[in-house]
């Protein structure tokens, strides 16, 4: 009888005759049985778990069932799947989606039905993929949604009818904008937007800073703080923010509704008028420039911009591609992709198991890992279905037979130590009998015998085990 999880591996290794199933499958069967046998799994079922094939074991003990709690009621996930009128994804994908909904606190009858009925593209649109996470909306601009949990920013944009602007809004969020601000601030090209002159005053030193912006004051201030706190900027303003803390500064507009030509002129005027140039103030330059100067005109795909910086700012916001990437490509005369590179749309993209699979595929293709991978495992869903039983993030995936391809009948989950012994350990014979790895052999010997070198083994030294 097995009464605890810690006994599973020992029972498998001590079994005689040799088990007919992989240890990972044995673990899965016993772990499942322990959920229903509080006093331990009977020896008869343990024997069956060691020697019966999948069909025989299923007939005797039934199909493994997953139960979930929905709206306070415990239900069978598979029965719920069959009850939906037209599920368009297979059960495994449905199971994965429901587990994610459960993890994010979004599981109810409605979302469960969506998990069964949505195409991959539609699922990603509403619930996101990869590393995206749910969030609770706590802003001010959309009071009807305050306190509501959204599965992703995309789902929120879809709800407020701003889905078509998602690339520009995502780009703003990546640059540190708040969600409300990223959504509400107009998306007009920067060249057509009026600007304002602002002053920042340090309450401790009484020194001032004059700047220009076509952003909101809140966004511009957040940018100043981020530059000061996340980098090593040496400007007087950045040094002051680090020294006194952002709470000791105030910011206000002193002139607004200025066009692009007027902004640098008025900035220079106010710096001179208020004497804000260092050391008496916090400005490092006398102003009169915008984005590093007006620069030369730039044309991209028939559209004109008055400078390279301006073109990069507009195209970055339009495509969602990082501004420095746009600037570099424009400088070299390269064209831009239509939008930023996207992660895979698979529901599990970015998960630990997904990254294991991608690493396996890529390392074999690049020649960094030995062996070949079977055609079946070129598809993640097949790979996931084959290896999920017995999978734990801390385990390592190895081939049982290194002369055969990576595939569903040639793998095993093992501990890191076991993987090191198998993958890197050279085998030696002891007295013409057992073959062991050097690491295993050292573990069997007393302290004196452990002063064993690979060189001595390679020279043909014979060992007599105690």
Least confident range of 35-39, 65-69, 204-208, 341-345: 341-345
Do 15 and 55 reside in the same domain of the chain? Answer: yes
Residue 339 lies in a domain: no
Distance between CA 224 and CA 278 in Å, rounded? 17
Structure tokens at 223: 């940018």
Q: How many domains does the chain have?
A: 6
Residue 54 lies in a domain: yes
Do 48 and 20 reside in the same domain of the chain? Answer: yes
| Of 260, 253, 265, 188, the residue nearest 220 (C-alpha) | 253
Chain mean pLDDT for the chain: 78
CA angle (356, 360, 366) in 5-degree steps: 140
Burial class (CB in 10 A: 0-12, 13-18, 19+), 156: buried
Residue 360 lies in a domain: yes
Do 106 and 145 reside in the same domain of the chain? Answer: no
Residue 93 lies in a domain: yes
Do 171 and 199 reside in the same domain of the chain? Answer: no
Give the mean pLDDT of 26-39: 79
Do 104 and 149 reside in the same domain of the chain? Answer: no
| Per-residue pLDDT at 8 exceeds 50 | yes
| Of 88, 109, 197, 131, the residue nearest 346 (C-alpha) | 131
Sign of CA dihedral 209, 215, 216, 221: negative
Residue 163 lies in a domain: yes
Q: What is the CATH number of the domain that holds 248?
A: 3.40.1440.10
Q: E strands, 98-144, where?
A: 135-136
Domain end marker among 80, 108, 127: 127
Greater pLDDT, 228 or 440: 228
Chain centre to alpha carbon of residue 388: 20
Q: Which of 125-134, 311-320, 354-363 has the highest mean pLDDT?
A: 354-363
Contact 340, 321 (CB under 8 A): yes
Residue 460 lies in a domain: no
Do 200 and 270 reside in the same domain of the chain? Answer: yes
Q: Which of 226-230, 303-307, 389-393 has the highest mean pLDDT?
A: 389-393
pLDDT band at 457 (very low <50, low <70, confident <90, very high): very low
Do 93 and 122 reside in the same domain of the chain? Answer: yes
| Per-residue pLDDT at 461 exceeds 50 | no
| Per-residue pLDDT at 305 exceeds 50 | yes
Q: Which helix (H) or strand (E) holds 93?
A: helix 91-103
Domain that holds residue 324: 300-331
Segment 105-118, tens digit of pLDDT: 888 888 888 888 88
Do 229 and 199 reside in the same domain of the chain? Answer: yes
| Per-residue pLDDT at 458 exceeds 50 | no
Residue 386 lies in a domain: yes
Do 143 and 122 reside in the same domain of the chain? Answer: no
Residue 289 lies in a domain: no
């Amino acid at each position: 009888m097995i009464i605890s999880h810690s006994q599973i591996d020992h029972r498998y290794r001590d079994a005689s005759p040799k088990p007919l199933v992989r240890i990972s499958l044995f673990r899965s069967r016993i772990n499942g049985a322990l959920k229903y046998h509080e006093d331990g799994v009977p020896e008869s079922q343990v024997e069956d778990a060691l020697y019966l094939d999948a069909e025989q074991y299923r007939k005797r003990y039934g199909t493994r069932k997953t139960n979930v709690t929905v709206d306070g009621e415990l239900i069978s996930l598979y029965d719920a799947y069959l009850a939906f009128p037209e599920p368009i994804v297979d059960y495994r994908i449905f199971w994965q989606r429901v587990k994610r909904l459960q993890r994010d606190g979004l599981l109810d009858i409605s979302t469960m039905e969506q998990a069964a009925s949505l195409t991959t593209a539609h699922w990603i649109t509403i619930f996101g993929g990869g590393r995206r996470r749910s969030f609770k909306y706590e802003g001010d601009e959309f009071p009807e949604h305050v306190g509501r949990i959204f599965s992703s920013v995309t789902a929120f944009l879809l709800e407020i009818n701003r889905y078509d602007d998602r690339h520009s809004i995502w780009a703003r969020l990546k640059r540190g904008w708040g969600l409300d601000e990223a959504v509400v601030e107009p998306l007009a090209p920067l060249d057509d937007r009026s600007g304002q002159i602002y002053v920042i005053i340090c309450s401790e030193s009484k020194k001032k800073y004059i700047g220009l912006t076509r952003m909101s004051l809140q966004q511009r201030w957040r940018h100043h703080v981020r530059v000061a706190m996340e980098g090593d900027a040496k400007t007087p303003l950045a040094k002051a923010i680090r020294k006194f803390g952002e709470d000791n500064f105030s910011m206000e507009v002193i002139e607004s509704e200025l066009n692009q030509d007027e902004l640098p002129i008025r900035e220079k005027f106010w710096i001179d008028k208020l004497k804000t140039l260092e050391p008496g103030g916090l400005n490092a330059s006398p102003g009169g420039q915008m984005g590093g100067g007006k620069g030369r005109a730039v044309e991209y795909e028939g559209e004109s911009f008055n400078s390279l910086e301006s073109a990069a700012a507009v195209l970055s916001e339009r495509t969602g591609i990082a501004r420095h990437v746009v600037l570099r490509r424009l400088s070299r005369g390269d064209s831009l992709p239509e939008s930023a590179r996207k992660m895979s749309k698979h529901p599990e993209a970015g998960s630990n198991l997904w990254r294991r699979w991608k690493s396996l595929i890529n390392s074999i293709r690049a020649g960094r890992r030995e062996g070949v991978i079977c055609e079946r495992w070129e598809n993640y869903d097949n790979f996931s279905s084959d290896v999920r039983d017995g999978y734990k993030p801390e385990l390592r995936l190895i081939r049982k037979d290194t002369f055969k391809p990576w595939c569903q009948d040639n793998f095993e989950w093992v501990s890191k130590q076991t993987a090191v012994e198998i993958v890197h350990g050279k085998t030696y014979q002891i007295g013409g009998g057992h073959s062991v790895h050097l690491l295993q052999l050292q573990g069997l010997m007393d302290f004196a015998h452990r002063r064993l070198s690979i060189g001595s083994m390679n020279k043909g030294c014979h060992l007599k085990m105690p």
